[in-house]
Structure formats: structure tokens, C-alpha cells
Chains A and B, each alone.
Chain A
Amino acid sequence: MSSSSLPAPSFEQQVADLHGYLMKFARLQLRNETWAEDAVSEVMLAALAKPQTFGNRSQLKTWLVGILKHKIIDAFRLRSREVCQSSDSNDSEEDPLEYLGFKADGHYIEPPAEWGNPEQQASSREFFEVLEICISHLPATQGRLFLMREWLELSSEDVCKELGLTATNLYVQLHRARLRLRECLELNWYGKAVQP
């Protein structure tokens, strides 16, 4: 029997099938299993409350991810005091800028590597997997703030406003997050992909 003769999955089924997909991003962004489950449940309920027809699965994904982003911002607003309180106590005191390797006079010990053409390399699914693993390994507060900038696409001003953070505090955390991520990508992707 050809698959085209099967009845198309119902809207409810299509939404349910994307539960795991939504959980992946909710976990990455919220860094708290309960918050993530709550946010995704709210997305599913909101979606099922107003069924819509989409031409294909990726349009449905886009719609659901859009709802998820709003639910996540609501969750952060609701828990703004807790979001930055885990204070990443096991984060070392060392400034991750030191990972780059500087001499006492501020020069590089060794110049940074050429990473090659990012357009070519970043197109692969494999790269995104490494990227997501690196993001998930950031200390929780840093990871949340970093993805608020890079995934939720909030301005630094809005991140501070939503969470009641000072700009200085935010910039310190983002500085650390970006340098850690750079280090992780270099070790786990470019170190293997780049020709010496």
C-alpha cells in the first residue's frame, strides 16, 4: 500500500509529533526540566485551541516555535528572580578570555587559528548538533542569557528589563558565554575540521 493512500495525520497528531522537537529548544533555553515541560504543554494547549492548516510540516514547526518563544519569555518574566540566581557557583573565577592565550604584555602567545569558510561548514546538521551541545554545556545562567540574545533575539536592553539585571552584570555573563562557546567550538569542531 502506498503511503499516499493513508489518511493524513490529524492536526492533533501533527502537533503531538513535534513535542520532542519543542522540548529540545525549551530545555536548551530554560535549563530547567519542569519549566520546559510547562512551557511546551502551554504551547500544545494553545495550538490545539485554534487548529490551523499548514501546507507542510516546516510551516507548522515555525508556528509552534513562534508560540514557544512567547511562552518562554512569559516563563522568564514570571521567574525572573530565579533565572539568574543559580549564579553558576561552579563557574571558575578565571576570565575565559585567558583561553585565547596571552603574554603578560597583552600579545597573543600564538595567533588565533583560521577557521575557514563558515558558510560552507556551518551548513551541516552535524555542526548544529555540536553547537547545541556546546550551548547546553554553558553554565545555566550564562546559557539562558546567551540564548535570550541569540535565539529569542531580545536586545540587551530588553534582557535586562525582563530579568531586572544591570547592564554590567549582563555583559559580564555574555562575555563569558561567548568565549566559552568559541572555545568549545574550536575544540570540538574546528580543531577537527580545520587543516593545520
Chain B
Amino acid sequence: MPLKRTCKEVASLLVAREDRALVWSDRLALRLHMLVCKACPRFERQMLGMRNQLKEWRNYTTPD
């Protein structure tokens, strides 16, 4: 099944997504995995949390 990804592969994609656009097959596989997995959405929330925190830190370093 070409669209099946393990949690470990999904975690790697969620990190990579911060710096590069994922190919469509990875994006689709990610969405499908998220629908059936309980653990990976937690890791996704951590990554999104870090993204927000870094943005706040950036704004804080250049207050305006």
C-alpha cells in the first residue's frame, strides 16, 4: 500500500514540513494516517506549538 506510513515516518514528515513543501503523495498519506492514529496528532500539536512559539519569540526580539 503506497499510501501507508508508520508513525515514525509521519513524525519525520511533520518535521520536514516546517522547511519544505511535501509532495502530494506524502501530504495525502499524512492526512489519511492522522484520521486513524491517536498518537501522531499529539506530535503534530507539539510541532505546531513550536511553530507558534518561535513566531512569538521572533516578534518579541523585534518588538513593534
Contacts from A to B (Cβ < 8 Å): 25, 58-59, 61-62, 65-66, 97, 100, 102, 105-108, 111-115, 118-119, 122-123, 127-128, 131-132, 149-151, 153, 156, 167, 170-171, 174-175, 178-179, 181-182, 185-186
B20 and A112 within 8 A (CB): no
Query: Across the interface, do B9 and A113 meet the contact criterion of CB distance under 8 Å?
Result: no
Residues of B within 8 A of A115 (CB): 45-46, 49
Nearest to B5 among chain A residues (CB) is A106
Prevailing SS type, chain A contact patch: helix
Known: A66-B62, A107-B7. A175 touches B12 (CB 8 A): yes
Q: How many B residues have CB within 8 A of the partner chain?
A: 32
Which residues of the other chain, B, contact A112 by a CB distance below 8 angstroms? 39, 42-43, 46
- Interface residues of chain B, those whose CB is within 8 Å of chain A, are 6-9, 11-12, 15-16, 18-20, 38-39, 42-43, 45-50, 52-54, 56-58, 60-64
Given contacts A62-B62, A66-B62, contact A181 B7 (CB under 8 A): no
Question: Known interface pairs A58-B64, A171-B20, A174-B19. Does A108 touch B39 (Cβ–Cβ under 8 Å)?
Answer: yes
Check A100 against B11 for contact (C-beta < 8 Å): yes
Picked from A62, A114, A127, A131, the residue with its CB within 8 Å of the CB of B63 is A62
* Distance A113 CA – B42 CA, assembled complex (angstroms): 7
